[in-house]
């Protein structure tokens, strides 16, 4: 039987900093036969209510205060807890289980550790922009270590929803628009977070989400539905989930959307036929927050009991944050609508993952003895600042550098302007777990330290994030998340313009607040808010060289600003050490190497816009414009910045492609290019390989990313990069939904972005 976890060490562990592994890693090889015996014996001892209790996942909060949880624990009515993040808090509940409950089945504790727990790293979209699997593995490992040391056993991550929709606020949480890049990043995260086993002292179990297709919600509107052809689904949207599960993820979180009319939570085909029978997933499925209840709103369940019946039969093991399983399963079993075997099956999955987390051997595995709790959970020594700074710098994408306006010199007078220049909260981005805003470094702090007394740094806020009162109210719904300056927009702008006039060069930190690129944060307009657009226009009028530092969680429409600024650096939300990392790049201490994991459109009206689209019967050719071809008459078809794009302070040239045959069974061709650093600085770049099948039984994308490599080159240095293409790389799901590799000609394209590539063709076989 296939184990849920990789049995061998899958990461180059030597890569990580030694302190992370100060404690020896204890290999945890799961013997599934022993586990099955153990779980079967335990199931026999459990009452129906205790089994149903194991299926309940509770969020600690106003709805379920700790006193209620204690009573539930005592009665065996809860299987796991989330949203509690300190060892003392977690210990209390595990103590209650061990002291008060009949069977002493340990709870597991989960949290949204998506890009860091205490140390916050760049948002996943930024991590994807690094195209650097070692950097991403570092993030996964440190996040897991900090989470495990806070007593957690599971994280609701990674999020591998491919999305072509920048309107969707959750674009920030995923790895972008591409299937391959998302698959690689998701796999890296799973392997890094779980390590040898989630039972290790410094590992946690992952829960891949949101299964499935959540990134394709119609119109990018949050919680909306998805309608998609099977070919598109299997070719572009499902592989990242499958890859992350094959990497051994113990959990899957089920998405809130419907797929071709059937909500994922009610989708037997998705959760049982595909996930269990075809993909052989052995771990646990968890519904998303309140999703079982929502089956009534979806119009597929008539009442709560019906919703529960449908969800458990579809394959939902654990219900998140609703009481429906506990309220209705007993009656459903009594009436025969749900069988004991179905309850046992779900309970078995929960007990299996607890076994794999090592909780039956030691319920305090991630807690340790009482006296070992950190005195100060947020202690500075618990942070991994050096790694956060390094990864953040690698995630930055230089979009524009007119006449080498960057890097800046640490001399003269520099003005820093913008509502995001000194925001400790926003720079952490969405889902910043237990990160503490006060511990994050803003761009103002970073630049101050960088220039020290060598240059004069002036600062003006310049505008609010937005002056739209409705949006301000939305962003501040639960807490004062965005500061609204009491000065008028004109006063703020005038101060900024006066500041800019005193400077030799102006850096502007603009973009979105944390809450604008989050769950439930869909936008119909993906430009910078008007207050910031007006500010940029006013500052531009001073004639000073203008560098925009973008902080945001999605591809934006920056067409207007692209025409105004000499330099543009995309920094996403770069985390605890963001301010240092951005300064490192602005001043040239680090040469930028990030590449866009999403296409930047010219306008929201072009959406969806993604690089691996299908050809049309009437392609538009701008050199011979023809009315009856596929285009908008008011805007170019092309993006503002394409997928895979990003500049460096040096330049790279790529030689023509050389192809060689590979003789192994699955191997097809070895494609090589020689990349030369043709500039004057050392630098790294991402060499990207795309494939195109020009004639097939179904129309195939104009190009698809199949491989990439990050390389570092000294000035004048050349390296040959070779990619091995396998038969699998040529395959696709045909009209009959069969995976086929059709003989014929293929185009291979290699370059340092998706547009500027060398091309060569070959015939297969
Ligand atoms: C709802 C979100 O959709 C999901 O991603 C998250 O993990 C859960 N809430 C728990 O916070």
How confident is the model over 97-112, as pLDDT tens digits? 999 999 999 999 999 9
Does any ligand 1 atom lie closer than 6 A to the CB of residue 519?
yes
Nearest CA to ligand 1 atom 3: 288
Averaged pLDDT for residues 417-440: 98
CA distances from 342 to 46, 291, 339, 403 (A): 15, 19, 5, 66
Give residue 361 CA to ligand 1 midpoint distance, Å.
Answer: 29
pLDDT at 488: 98
- The structure tokens 């080159």 sit at 713
Q: What is the pLDDT confidence band of residue 677, given thresholds at 50, 70 and 90?
A: very high
User: How many C-beta atoms surround the C-beta of residue 289 within 10 A?
Assistant: 18
Locate all alpha helices (DSSP H) within 521-640, ordered by sequence. 530-540, 559-562, 578-586
List the catalytic residue out of 178, 200, 288, 344.
288
pLDDT at 61: 85
Ligand 1 atom closest to the CA of 207, numbered from 1: 7
Orientation angle between helical segments 32-45 and 340-356, nearest 10 degrees: 130
Pocket test for ligand 1, best of 123, 159, 174, 320 (most atoms within 8 A of CB): 320
Does any ligand 1 atom lie closer than 6 A to the CB of residue 211?
no
* Helix (H/G/I), strand (E/B), else coil: 78: coil
Residue 18 has pLDDT above 80, yes or no: no
Measured CA to CA, the distance from residue 309 to residue 321 in angstroms comes to 17
Does any ligand 1 atom lie closer than 6 A to the CB of residue 132?
no
Nearest CA to ligand 1 atom 11: 112
Does any ligand 1 atom lie closer than 6 A to the CB of residue 289?
yes
pLDDT at 49: 97
Does any ligand 1 atom lie closer than 6 A to the CB of residue 161?
no
Residue 24 has pLDDT above 70, yes or no: no
Give residue 363 CA to ligand 1 midpoint distance, Å.
Answer: 25
Does any ligand 1 atom lie closer than 6 A to the CB of residue 209?
yes
Closest CA to 423 of 594, 574, 589: 574
Does any ligand 1 atom lie closer than 6 A to the CB of residue 431?
no
* Helix (H/G/I), strand (E/B), else coil: 751: strand
Orientation angle between helical segments 340-356 and 304-314, nearest 10 degrees: 60
Q: What is the pLDDT confidence band of residue 732, given thresholds at 50, 70 and 90?
A: very high
Measured CA to CA, the distance from residue 630 to residue 297 in angstroms comes to 38
- Residue 288 is among the residues annotated as catalytic for this protein: yes
Averaged pLDDT for residues 272-295: 97
Measured CA to CA, the distance from residue 272 to residue 265 in angstroms comes to 11
How confident is the model over 30-53, as pLDDT tens digits? 788 999 999 999 999 999 999 999
Measured CA to CA, the distance from residue 485 to residue 720 in angstroms comes to 54
Q: What is the pLDDT confidence band of residue 663, given thresholds at 50, 70 and 90?
A: confident
Give residue 320 CA to ligand 1 midpoint distance, Å.
Answer: 9
How confident is the model over 453-512, as pLDDT tens digits? 999 999 999 999 999 999 999 999 999 999 999 999 999 999 999 999 999 999 999 999
Give residue 288 CA to ligand 1 midpoint distance, Å.
Answer: 6
**Is the distance from CB of 730 to CB of 693 less than 8 angstroms?**
yes
- The structure tokens 């989470």 sit at 147
pLDDT at 5: 42
Measured CA to CA, the distance from residue 89 to residue 151 in angstroms comes to 9
Give residue 256 CA to ligand 1 midpoint distance, Å.
Answer: 10
How confident is the model over 611-649, as pLDDT tens digits? 999 999 999 999 999 999 999 999 999 999 999 999 999
Give residue 289 CA to ligand 1 midpoint distance, Å.
Answer: 6
Closest CA to 121 of 132, 107, 106: 132
Nearest CA to ligand 1 atom 1: 289
Residue 331 has pLDDT above 80, yes or no: yes
Q: What is the pLDDT confidence band of residue 21, given thresholds at 50, 70 and 90?
A: very low
**Is the distance from CB of 638 to CB of 613 less than 8 angstroms?**
no
Phi and psi at residue 555, to the nearest 5°? -70, 135
Nearest CA to ligand 1 atom 7: 156
């Amino acid at each position: 039987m296939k184990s849920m976890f990789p049995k061998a060490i899958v990461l180059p562990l030597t890569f990580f900093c030694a302190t992370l592994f100060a404690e020896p890693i204890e290999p945890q090889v799961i013997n599934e036969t022993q586990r099955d015996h153990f779980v079967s014996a335990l199931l026999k001892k459990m009452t129906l209510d205790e089994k149903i209790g194991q299926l309940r996942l509770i969020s600690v909060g106003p709805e379920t205060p700790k006193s209620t949880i204690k009573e539930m624990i005592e009665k065996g009515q809860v299987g796991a807890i989330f949203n509690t993040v300190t060892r003392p808090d977690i210990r209390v509940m595990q103590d209650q289980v061990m002291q008060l409950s009949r069977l002493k089945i340990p709870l597991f504790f989960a949290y949204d550790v998506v890009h860091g727990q205490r140390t916050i790293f760049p948002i996943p979209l930024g991590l994807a922009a690094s195209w650097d699997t070692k950097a991403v593995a570092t993030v996964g490992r440190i996040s897991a270590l900090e989470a495990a040391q806070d007593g957690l056993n599971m994280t609701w991550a990674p999020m591998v929803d491919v999305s072509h929709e920048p309107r969707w606020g959750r674009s920030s949480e995923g790895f972008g628009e591409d299937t391959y890049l998302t698959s690689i990043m998701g796999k890296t995260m799973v392997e890094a977070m779980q390590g040898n086993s989630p039972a290790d002292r410094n590992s946690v179990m992952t829960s891949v989400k949101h299964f499935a297709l959540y990134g394709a919600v119609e119109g990018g509107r949050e919680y909306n539905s998805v309608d998609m052809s099977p070919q598109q689904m299997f070719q572009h949207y499902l592989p990242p989930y499958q890859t992350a599960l094959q990497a051994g993820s113990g959990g899957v979180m089920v998405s809130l959307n419907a797929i071709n009319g059937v909500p994922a939570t009610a989708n037997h085909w998705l959760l049982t036929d595909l996930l269990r029978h075809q993909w052989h997933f052995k771990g646990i499925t968890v519904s998303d927050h309140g999703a079982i209840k929502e089956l009534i709103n979806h119009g597929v369940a008539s009442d709560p009991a019906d919703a529960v019946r449908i969800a458990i039969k579809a394959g939902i093991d654990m219900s998140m944050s609703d009481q429906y399983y506990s309220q209705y399963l007993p009656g459903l079993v009594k009436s025969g609508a749900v069988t004991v075997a179905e309850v046992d099956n779900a309970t078995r999955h929960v007990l299996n993952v607890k076994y794999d987390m090592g909780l039956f051997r030691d319920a305090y595995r991630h807690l340790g003895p009482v006296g070992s709790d950190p005195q100060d959970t947020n202690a500075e020594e618990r942070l991994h600042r050096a790694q956060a700074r390094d990864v953040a710098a690698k995630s930055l994408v230089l979009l524009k550098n007119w006449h080498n306006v960057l890097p800046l010199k640490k001399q003269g007078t520099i003005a820093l302007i913008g509502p995001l220049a000194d925001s400790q909260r926003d720079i952490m981005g969405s889902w910043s777990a237990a990160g503490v805003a006060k511990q994050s470094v803003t761009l103002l702090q970073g630049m101050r330290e960088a220039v020290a007394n060598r240059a004069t740094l002036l600062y003006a806020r310049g505008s609010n994030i937005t002056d739209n009162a409705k949006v301000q109210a939305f962003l501040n719904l639960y807490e004062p998340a965005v500061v609204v300056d009491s000065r008028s927009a004109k006063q703020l702008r005038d101060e900024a313009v006066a500041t800019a006039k005193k400077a030799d060069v102006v850096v502007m930190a603009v973009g979105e607040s944390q809450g604008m690129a989050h769950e439930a944060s869909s936008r119909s307009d993906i430009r910078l808010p008007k207050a910031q657009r007006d500010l940029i226009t006013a500052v531009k009028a001073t004639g000073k060289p203008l560098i925009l530092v973008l902080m945001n969680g999605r591809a934006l429409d920056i067409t207007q600003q692209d025409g105004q600024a000499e330099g543009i650096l995309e920094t996403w939300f770069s985390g605890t050490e963001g301010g240092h990392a951005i300064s490192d790049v602005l001043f040239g201490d680090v040469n930028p190497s990030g590449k866009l994991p999403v296409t930047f459109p010219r306008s929201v009206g072009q959406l969806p816009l993604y690089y691996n689209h299908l050809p049309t019967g009437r392609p538009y050719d701008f050199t011979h414009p023809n009315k009856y071809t596929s285009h908008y008459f008011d805007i170019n078809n092309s993006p503002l910045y394409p997928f895979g794009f990003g500049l460096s302070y040096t330049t790279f040239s790529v030689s023509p492609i050389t192809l060689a045959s590979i003789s192994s069974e699955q191997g097809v061709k070895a494609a090589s290019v020689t990349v030369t650093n043709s500039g004057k600085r050392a630098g790294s770049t991402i060499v990207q390989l795309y494939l195109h099948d020009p004639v097939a039984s179904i129309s195939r994308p104009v190009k698809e990313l199949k491989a990439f490599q990050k390389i570092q080159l000294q000035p004048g240095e050349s390296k040959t990069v070779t990619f091995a293409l396998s038969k699998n790389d040529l395959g696709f799901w045909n009209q009959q939904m069969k995976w086929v590799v059709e003989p014929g000609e293929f185009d291979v394209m290699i370059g340092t972005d998706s547009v500027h590539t060398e091309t060569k063709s070959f015939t297969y076989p």
